[in-house]
Amino acid sequence: MSRLADWQQIDEAARWHDILHSLPAAHPLQSWVWGAFKSRWGWSMKALALPGAEGHAAAALVLRRQLPGLPFSFLYVPKGPLFAYEDEALRERVLDDLQALARQERAIFVKIDPDVVRSCGLEPEQPDPVGAAWLRSLQARGWRFSTDQVQFRNTVLLDLEQSEESLLAAMKSKTRYNIRLAARKEVEVRQVGPEAFPAIVEMYATTAERNEFGIRPPAYYLDAWQSLFDAGMAQPFLAEYRGTPLAAVIVVYFGRLALYMYGASNELERNRMPTYLVQWEAIRWAKAQGCRVYDFWGAPDEFVESDSLWGVWRFKSGFEGEVVRHIGAWDYPARPFWYWLFNVALPRYRRLLRSRNRDRAGSG
């Protein structure tokens, strides 16, 4: 049964971050900074915390988006909710309350994508019993595996509690060679600030075109990076050759987690392997800051060459982190008809229109 009144709405960034840091699996996409940034891009935010016996038991930064011309919205809890995921009673309580919140907010659905581990390792996979319990609960409650996986479902995690020597020794020989090659070929990596963001966003557009993935307008990234940097949650790195930018990494960090959230490179001097050296320097920096985990932020859904992330995976795999598969994003359809219309019928209709437009263009 829902007890939404027990949840506290937090209205101060510092207090919210204190609550997040007191919980397991605190994530930067649950931060006040991220919520405030998204609020400038069509969302509203609500920071909710559930008191526990000591401190707070759970937290959820809930983003709400109003549907134009309709009395409905949809809700999204990016990389949340946050609590001890192995606590089954608390899980059921939190899911109850999120379902009730969706009804209260006149939402068509609520989407969650907590970092609940489904399995670890590439081959063979090692199933996680906590993830299995979550999947059984979500399915029994009528939640649906989302057709819109906003964040990466799988990732690669590097244990930073090893020494630098151990990290290097564990890498694939080609990766270790490329790191040293870049240094020999006069690639220099330095920490930079917002003055480098315009150059990085240009490289990011080049990277997107080369790897065939969609990106948002430059202003979106400039806003995100500036917000995270100003909050002390992001550090950009730039790899250069004789003063010319070649590649960049922006590390987003929160608590003990460092996230390789943005990486970019252009077409210049690629034989100097700048992406390897800038990645290694970012890892070294994260370790020096006391981060325990370096999250490479994304791996293929299926580890086959036809997956769109296969090329990215080949690069990341050289650092020999651990493959971690999460349960992914799940939707609770509070209004089933509207959910079907929004997630099934309308996308099909848009695909049909695009197909007809291509046919007409071809026949002209």
The domain segmentation of the chain, as residue ranges, is: 4-116+128-149+328-363, 161-291
Percent of the chain's residues with pLDDT above 70 = 95
Question: Are 9 and 59 contacting, i.e. CB atoms less than 8 angstroms apart?
Answer: no
What is the arithmetic mean of pLDDT over 242-265?
96
287 has pLDDT over 90: yes
Q: So what's the pLDDT on residue 362?
A: 41
Q: Which residues are registered as beta bridge partners of 56?
A: 51
Its sign, for the CA torsion 150, 156, 159, 163, is negative
* Distance, CA of 111 to CA of 140 (rounded, Å): 16
Q: Kindly report the backbone phi and psi dihedral angles of residue 10, in degrees, each rounded to the nearest multiple of 5, phi listed first.
A: -95, 135
Q: Is the pLDDT assigned to residue 27 strictly greater than 80?
A: yes
Q: Over the chain, what is the mean pLDDT?
A: 93
Rounded distance between C-alpha atoms, residue 97 and residue 141, angstroms? 13
Q: Rounded to an integer, what distance in angstroms lies between the CA atom of residue 61 and that of residue 34?
A: 9
Q: What is the pLDDT of residue 180?
A: 97
pLDDT beyond 90 at 196: yes
As a whole number of angstroms, the distance between CA 184 and CA 79 comes to: 40
The percentage of residues in the chain with a pLDDT greater than 90, rounded to a whole number, is 84
* Architecture field, domain 4-116+128-149+328-363: 3-Layer(aba) Sandwich (3.40)
pTM above 0.95, yes or no: no
Burial of 206 (0-12, 13-18, 19+ CB in 10 A): middle
CB 64 within 8 A of CB 105: yes
What is the CB neighbour count within 10 angstroms for residue 322? 14
First to last CA, the chain: 60
Q: Does the pLDDT at position 359 exceed 50?
A: no
CA triple 347-349-353, angle to 5 deg: 115
- The per-residue pLDDT for range 213-225, each reduced to its tens digit, is 888 999 999 999 9
Class of domain 161-291: alpha beta
CATH topology agreement for domains 4-116+128-149+328-363 and 161-291: yes
CA 253 – CA 22 distance, rounded (Å): 16
